[in-house]
C-alpha cells in the first residue's frame, strides 16, 4: 500500500482523494525539518508547495520515494537533478494557477498605475492626498510581456481588454502564433525600448536570472514600470531600486523575491514607488483547490495506471500508457543489454534508428529504455527509465535518435548502434505478432533469436565442426543447448553463432571455448 506525505499547506481535497483511492496519507503542513528527515524514508510520494525545501540531503534519505509532486508550477524548491539521479519522478501542475497568477499580475499593474496601495495607506492615516497620487491610464500604453507561455498569454489577453498595445518576447513562439493572440512578437531589446510597462512570465534559470538588471534597464524608456509575478531572481532587486531612485523607472510591483521570506530591512520594502505582495500569485481558493486536486490525480494515475502527466524530469515516460508501444520498450532495453555485453571499450555514442509510425510516437522512451539496458550491464543497478539519460550524460555517452518513415522488411523496426573507443556494434529488433520479441540482426549478420536467458555469442570460421566442438564442451559441463541461431554473409567466410543455453557458463568454460580452433570472439550474454 502506497504512503503519501503532504508536507505543505496543500488544499485538503488532495488528501481526501488519496484516501479514497486506498493510499495511506500523512497530512503534515509545516512539519519541522528534523522530523521530515526522520520519516521521509517511509513514503512513496511527497506533495509540496514552495515551503518544503526538497534538497539533495533530503532526497538522499528517500529510500522508497517514487514521485515528488509540486502543487504549483515552479519547482525551484526541488533539486530536480538529485531526484532524477535517484530515479524519482518530479511532477508539477502547469496551468493550475494560470488564471490566478495572470489576474494578480493585472492587479499589480493597476495598483501601480493608480497608486492604490499608497492612497489606501494615506487615507487610513487620516490624510486626503488627491494631488499626490495622480495615476496613469492603461489605455493605449504598450505592455511588454517577456514569456508567452500560459500565464503570459492570459496577461496579454486581459491587457487587450484595457486597449493596451501588447508586444511580447518568447524564443519558442512564432510570429504567426503570437499574432493569433493579438501580440506582436519582438526581440528583447525592443521590449525594453518600446514598453511603458514590462511584465515577466518566465521560469528562473541561467538564462533568465537577473534578466532585469542595470544593463537592461538602461535600454528602457524613461518612466517604465516593472512587474514580476514569476520568480524571484529574475529582477535584480538593488539595481531596480537604483533605477527608481534615478528616475529611469517610475515604479515597480513585485510578488516574488530573491529570498523568501525576504530581508524586510531592504529599501525595496520601504520605497513609496514599489508595490509588494507576499507571493500571492497562486493564492486564490480556486487555484489552490485546482492544483491540489490536479497533483493528487496525477500521482494516483501514476501509481494505479502507470500514466505520467506533468513530469518535469521524465517527459518520455508519458508514452508508457501506449500499450502498443510497450513490447518495443522492453525490446529496446534487451537490445541495450545485449550490445553492452558484445562490445569492447568505453562507449562513446548510442545511435537509435526508429522505423515506422508506432515508434515515431515514443517521445524519447525507446532511447531511455536502450540506455537503461546498457547501464544495467555496466553495473549501475539503480538505473531506471527516469535517470537513464542522466547517467548516460554523466558518463559522457552521447545518445542520438533518428526517426525514419519505413523499413523495407518490417512495419516497425528498431536499429541500435553502439560506438566505443575501439569498435562499433549494431543490432536490429522487431516484435513479431503481438508480443514475440526478436533480435533479427547483429552487426552485418541476418539472424533471429529471442533475447532471454543465457546465450553464448561467438564468431567463427565457416567450417564444419565448429558448432560440434562448442556443443561437446557445453555437454561436458552439463549445460544443455536450448536452441541455435546461425548467420553468415558468404559461404566459407566468417559466421556468427548464437547458442541459447539452459545454464550459465563459468569463466573457465568460456576460456576453453575461446581456445577452440576457428573461434574468434566469444561473449557470454545474460538477460
Catalytically active residues, by annotation = 231, 260, 279
- Report d(CA 70, CA 431) in Å as an integer: 38
Say if CB 344 and CB 420 are below 8 A apart: yes
The residues, any chain, with a CB within 8 Å of residue 455's CB and separated by 6 or more, are 449, 498, 499, 500, 501, 524, 525, 526, 527
Which triple of cell numbers denotes residue 229? 509575478
Say if CB 502 and CB 482 are below 8 A apart: yes
Q: Looking at the chain, how many residues does it have?
A: 527
220 DSSP assignment: S
Say if CB 191 and CB 218 are below 8 A apart: no
- Report d(CA 160, CA 162) in Å as an integer: 5
For residue 404, cis peptide bond before it (omega within 30 degrees of 0) = no
447 DSSP assignment: E
Say if CB 513 and CB 456 are below 8 A apart: yes
Closest Cα partner for 237 from 264, 212, 271, 265? 212
SS3 288: helix
Phi-psi region of 27 (alpha: psi -120 to 50; beta: other; left: phi over 0): beta
Distances (CA, A) of 359 to 64, 231, 338, 352, 449: 32, 38, 20, 11, 21
Closest Cα partner for 232 from 267, 256, 215? 256
Which triple of cell numbers denotes residue 310? 506533468
B/e letters for 158-193, b = 16+ CB within 10 Å, e = fewer, are: bbeebebbbbbbbeebeeeebeebebebbeeeebbe
SS3 206: coil
Which triple of cell numbers denotes residue 227? 512587474
Residue 224 φ/ψ, nearest 5 degrees: -60, 150
- Report d(CA 69, CA 91) in Å as an integer: 5
SS3 501: strand
Residue 55 φ/ψ, nearest 5 degrees: -95, 180
What are the strands of the beta sheet with 24-27, ordered from one edge?
24-27, 3-6, 45-48, 67-70, 89-91
Amino acid at each position: 500500500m502506497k504512503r503519501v506525505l503532504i508536507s505543505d499547506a496543500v488544499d485538503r481535497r488532495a488528501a481526501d482523494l488519496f484516501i479514497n483511492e486506498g493510499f495511506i496519507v500523512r497530512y503534515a503542513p509545516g512539519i519541522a525539518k528534523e522530523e521530515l528527515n526522520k520519516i521521509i524514508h517511509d513514503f512513496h510520494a511527497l506533495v509540496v508547495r514552495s515551503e518544503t525545501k526538497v534538497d539533495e540531503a533530503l532526497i538522499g534519505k528517500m529510500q522508497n520515494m517514487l514521485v515528488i509532486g509540486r502543487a504549483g508550477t515552479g519547482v525551484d524548491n526541488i533539486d530536480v537533478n538529485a531526484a532524477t539521479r535517484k530515479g524519482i519522478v518530479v511532477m508539477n501542475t502547469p496551468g493550475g494557477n494560470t488564471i490566478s497568477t495572470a489576474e494578480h499580475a493585472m492587479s499589480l499593474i493597476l495598483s501601480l498605475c493608480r497608486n492604490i496601495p499608497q492612497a489606501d495607506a494615506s487615507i487610513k492615516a487620516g490624510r486626503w492626498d488627491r494631488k499626490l497620487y495622480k495615476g496613469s491610464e492603461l489605455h493605449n500604453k504598450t505592455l511588454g510581456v517577456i514569456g508567452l507561455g500560459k500565464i503570459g498569454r492570459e496577461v496579454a489577453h486581459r491587457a487587450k481588454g484595457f486597449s493596451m498595445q501588447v508586444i511580447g518576447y518568447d524564443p519558442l513562439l512564432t510570429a504567426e502564433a503570437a499574432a493569433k493572440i493579438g501580440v506582436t512578437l519582438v526581440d528583447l531589446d525592443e521590449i525594453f525600448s518600446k514598453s511603458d510597462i514590462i511584465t515577466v512570465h518566465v521560469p528562473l534559470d541561467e538564462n533568465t536570472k537577473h534578466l532585469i538588471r542595470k544593463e537592461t534597464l538602461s535600454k528602457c524608456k524613461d518612466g517604465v514600470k516593472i512587474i514580476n509575478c514569476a520568480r524571484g531572481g529574475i529582477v535584480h532587486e538593488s539595481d531596480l531600486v537604483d533605477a527608481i531612485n534615478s528616475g529611469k523607472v517610475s515604479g515597480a510591483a513585485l510578488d516574488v523575491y530573491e529570498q523568501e521570506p525576504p530581508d524586510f530591512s531592504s529599501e525595496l520594502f520601504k520605497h513609496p514607488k514599489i508595490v509588494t505582495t507576499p507571493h500571492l500569485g497562486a493564492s486564490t481558493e480556486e487555484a489552490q483547490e485546482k492544483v491540489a486536486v490536479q497533483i493528487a490525480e496525477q500521482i494516483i494515475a501514476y501509481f494505479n495506471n502507470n500514466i505520467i502527466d506533468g513530469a518535469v524530469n521524465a517527459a518520455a515516460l508519458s508514452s508508457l500508457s501506449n500499450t502498443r508501444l510497450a513490447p518495443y520498450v522492453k525490446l529496446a532495453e534487451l537490445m541495450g543489454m545485449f550490445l553492452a555485453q558484445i562490445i569492447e571499450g568505453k562507449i562513446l555514442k548510442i545511435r537509435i534508428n526508429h522505423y515506422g509510425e508506432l515508434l515515431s510516437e515514443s517521445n524519447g522512451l525507446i532511447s531511455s529504455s536502450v540506455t537503461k539496458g546498457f547501464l544495467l550491464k555496466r553495473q549501475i543497478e539503480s538505473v531506471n527509465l527516469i535517470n537513464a539519460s542522466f547517467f548516460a550524460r554523466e558518463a559522457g555517452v552521447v545518445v542520438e535518435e533518428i526517426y525514419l518513415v519505413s523499413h523495407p522488411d518490417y512495419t516497425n523496426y528498431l536499429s541500435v548502434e553502439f560506438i566505443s573507443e575501439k569498435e562499433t556494434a549494431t543490432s536490429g529488433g522487431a516484435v513479431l505478432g503481438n508480443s514475440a520479441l526478436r533480435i533479427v540482426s547483429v552487426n552485418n549478420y541476418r539472424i533471429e533469436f529471442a533475447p532471454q536467458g543465457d546465450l553464448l555469442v561467438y564468431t567463427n570460421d565457416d567450417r564444419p565442426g565448429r558448432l560440434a566442438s562448442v556443443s561437446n564442451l557445453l555437454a561436458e559441463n552439463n549445460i544443455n543447448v536450448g536452441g541455435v541461431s546461425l548467420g553468415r554473409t558468404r559461404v566459407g567466410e566468417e559466421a556468427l553463432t548464437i547458442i541459447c543455453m539452459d545454464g550459465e557458463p563459468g569463466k573457465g568454460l568460456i576460456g576453453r571455448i575461446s581456445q577452440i580452433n576457428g573461434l574468434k570472439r566469444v561473449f557470454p550474454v545474460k538477460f
